[in-house]
Amino acid sequence: MSTTPAGAPRQPTPSATPRPPAAGSHDAPGSAERSSRSLWFPHQHGAWAMLAVPLLLGVAASRPDPWQVVLAAAAVAGYLASATWQAWMRARRRPSYLLSLRVYVGAFAVLAAALVIGHPPIVVAAVVVVPAAAFALVGARPGTRREIGDTLAQVLEALVLTPVAAYVSGDFEPATVAVYTAISAAYLVATVLVVRSVLRERGNVAFAVGSVGYHAALVVAAAAWLPPAYAVVAAGLTARAIALPLVQRRLARGPRPMRPVHVGAVEAVAALAVVVVAFVVPAVPT
């Protein structure tokens, strides 16, 4: 062992001291696992409600049927394929996404083919899904800002699930399905506006006011054309549209600002309320 002139053991210099891997680097503990997980599961957790609500409202408008499970699986596979494609377009290491992209596209192709073979008329849904999906994917190009139109295109894709879920059940009443599809559309657009008002448009008072105005219109429409329970839910959704921007502004001044996970938790409760009322209180009297 080398020593100093005084005979004491030489201490390692700072450059010789091992450094822990930086957080977020591929050498950090758990970072490889997180990176691998991101190749298969997108971070846009709010999209699950965008799929679940219209699908479940389609079930509420008709009756449960095993084909709706196939439709749900196809919707999930299609969403994962689309989200993975968007991540692939923006990624630096594109080959990393090829396996998950192939799996999801293949699963969607098989499930969609089964649905079309079993129920050929649903191919008409492609008239809405294909252009809406193309519009959303174009908006996901690298260097482009995600605009509200891109999100509304995804809403349009998801809305197809309501009539298709009702159709594959064999219990398709056009008037009833139209009402439940309108409820799905009203809720999903409301969600887009609220989430955007506290994330991408946070601090934009005009946008938040527009969101509240839209919700107020939903209360009036629900009170006029639907059973009272729907107006109550619409009023609750309006209250959260008012409260979230105010809470977000207040928390922004403190050490714990509002995060997307908090917004997602609120929206999960809102989605659950809409679905429960749709199943418990028929929107169209029988």
Cβ(244)–Cβ(211) below 8 Å: no
**What are 187-227's pLDDT values in tens digits?**
999 999 999 999 888 889 999 999 999 999 999 999 999 99
Task: Supply the pLDDT for residue 90.
Answer: 66
Whether residue 6 lies inside any domain: the answer is: no
Question: Who has greater pLDDT, 229 or 26?
Answer: 229
Task: Supply the pLDDT for residue 183.
Answer: 97
User: Is 162 found in the same domain as 63?
Assistant: yes
Task: Supply the pLDDT for residue 256.
Answer: 85
User: Is 167 found in the same domain as 48?
Assistant: yes
User: Is 244 found in the same domain as 187?
Assistant: yes
**What are 41-66's pLDDT values in tens digits?**
666 656 778 899 999 999 999 999 99
Whether residue 21 lies inside any domain: the answer is: no
Task: Supply the pLDDT for residue 226.
Answer: 97
Q: Which of 8-12, 149-153, 217-221 has the highest mean pLDDT?
A: 217-221
Query: Whole-prediction pTM value?
Result: 0.81
- pLDDT-derived band at 92 (thresholds 50, 70, 90) equals low
Task: Supply the pLDDT for residue 138.
Answer: 77
Average pLDDT, the chain: 83
Query: CB burial class (10 A; 0-12, 13-18, 19+) of residue 197?
Result: buried
User: Is 272 found in the same domain as 208?
Assistant: yes
Task: Supply the pLDDT for residue 84.
Answer: 80
> What's the 3-state SS for 138-198?
HCCCCCCCCCHHHHHHHHHHHHCHHHHHHHHCCCCCHHHHHHHHHHHHHHHHHHHHHHHHH
User: Is 139 found in the same domain as 227?
Assistant: no
Segments forming the whole domain that contains residue 244: 174-286
Please give the Cα distance from 40 to 96 (Å, whole number): 10
User: Is 245 found in the same domain as 229?
Assistant: yes
User: Is 137 found in the same domain as 214?
Assistant: no
Please give the Cα distance from 138 to 135 (Å, whole number): 5
Q: Which of 68-82, 221-235, 239-253 has the highest mean pLDDT?
A: 221-235
